[in-house]
Structure formats: C-alpha cells, structure tokens
Amino acid sequence: MDPLVRQIAARVRTERERRRWTLAQLADASGVSPAMISRIERGESSPTAVVLGKLSAAFRLGVASLLALAEGTQETEGALPAAGTPEAAVGGAGVRRGADAAEWRDPGTGYRRRQITGPRFPAEIAEIRLPAGARVPYPAAAFAFVRQLVWVLDGRLTFHDGDAVHELDAGDTIEFGAPAERVFANTTDTECRYAVVLTRDAQP
C-alpha cells in the first residue's frame, strides 16, 4: 500500500474517533457511504479528490489540512533530527528534498497533490498538477476555517467560485472569500500546475 494512502486512512479514522462518530454518523455528515468510509479507513480504497473534499468538509478541515495532518501521522511530535540528516546538518532548518515530498494521486482524475510544507509549518503549501480535461468540485464546507490562495504556475485554470467563473493563466493568483462551492477545472489539452497556500483561522 502507498504510504500516504495508509496515512490518509489512519487520519480519517483518527478524526472520526476524535469526534466520537460512528461510520454512519460520518456518512450522514459527509454524504459518503459507510461502506466507502470503511474501505478508506482500512486502506482498501484510495479516496478520490471529491470524496476527500466531502470528508474534509465533514471534519471542518480543508483538504490541504487533512492531507498535511495525514503526512504527519507517523511523525513523532517534538522529535529531534537524527545525526547526519539534512535537518541536523543545517541546524534544524528543515530541508525537504523534492524527491522525498509526499504526493497523493486522485485515482479518478489523475490529479496529483504534493505537500510542500511539513505538518508543523504554520502555513500549508501544496503543488497541484491538474491533467488536461480534469474537473474537481469541492463543497463549500471544505473551505471553512481557512484562508486560501491559489497561484497558477503553468497552464490555465478555470476556477468556479460559486456562480463566478475565473480564467486564470500562469502568474495569476486568486484569494478565496467566504466559503462557497468551488470547482477546479482544466479545459485545455495540456496540464495545469498551481500552488495552494492556506492558513487556518480556527480549529474545528
């Protein structure tokens, strides 16, 4: 099993149990079937971006927050860097090699998300690669408790913000307002690459 899929499974279960929810209660809150949630928690199924958005919304977390927490699931809180590691060599500066960054791939669309910052960093940054023709919708609740910005790095992103539609080219940014249903779409025939930057306003 992919390590990040295993960590997502553990984090979904942890967030559910933290709220003392049954599978049925999480299903009611998210709109995801109990059977699917059970398969995700057992690591038998990798959630799509849409399913991850619904689960994140139920937990009142952003998708980036849930993935960042998942990446930190196996880390020891407060652990010191081992001798000889890049972090130790530069005085704890926290060097993260590109090849070592956790990357999650949506099995439904081929959308890829790479976490740039670690789980202890105060802001969350992710690099997204959205394939040609892909479309990823998220419910409004997935954007609660966060401030978020998207920066297009390559290609063109068609961004639906509620009823408004924005065509964003390389170099363009958009800061999100109040939570709304949002869709990230690539209507071109080439990949779109963009960065997501967010901070949490409050814990759920």
Q: What CATH number corresponds to the domain at position 46?
A: 2.60.120.10
Structure tokens at 118: 């670690």
CA 161, 111, 153, 100 torsion: positive or negative? positive
- What is the domain count for the chain? 1
Domain coverage including residue 106: 3-76+100-200
Q: What is the mean pLDDT of the chain?
A: 84
Is 130 a member of any domain? yes
Is 94 a member of any domain? no
For residue range 187-202, list pLDDT tens digits in order: 999 999 999 998 876 5
Task: Give the pLDDT confidence score for residue 81 in this predicted structure.
Answer: 42
How far is Cα 7 from Cα 71, in angstroms, rounded to an integer? 6
Is 91 a member of any domain? no
Q: What is the pTM of this model?
A: 0.77
Give residue 60's pLDDT band: very low, low, confident or very high (50, 70, 90).
confident
Is 81 a member of any domain? no
Cβ–Cβ < 8 Å for 196, 142: no
Is 90 a member of any domain? no
Structure tokens at 17: 């149990």
Is 85 a member of any domain? no
Is 185 a member of any domain? yes
Give residue 78's pLDDT band: very low, low, confident or very high (50, 70, 90).
very low
How far is Cα 79 from Cα 25, in angstroms, rounded to an integer? 35
Is 95 a member of any domain? no
Three-state SS string over 111-130 comes to CEEEECCCCCCCCEEEEEEE
How far is Cα 178 from Cα 165, in angstroms, rounded to an integer? 15
How far is Cα 16 from Cα 33, in angstroms, rounded to an integer? 14
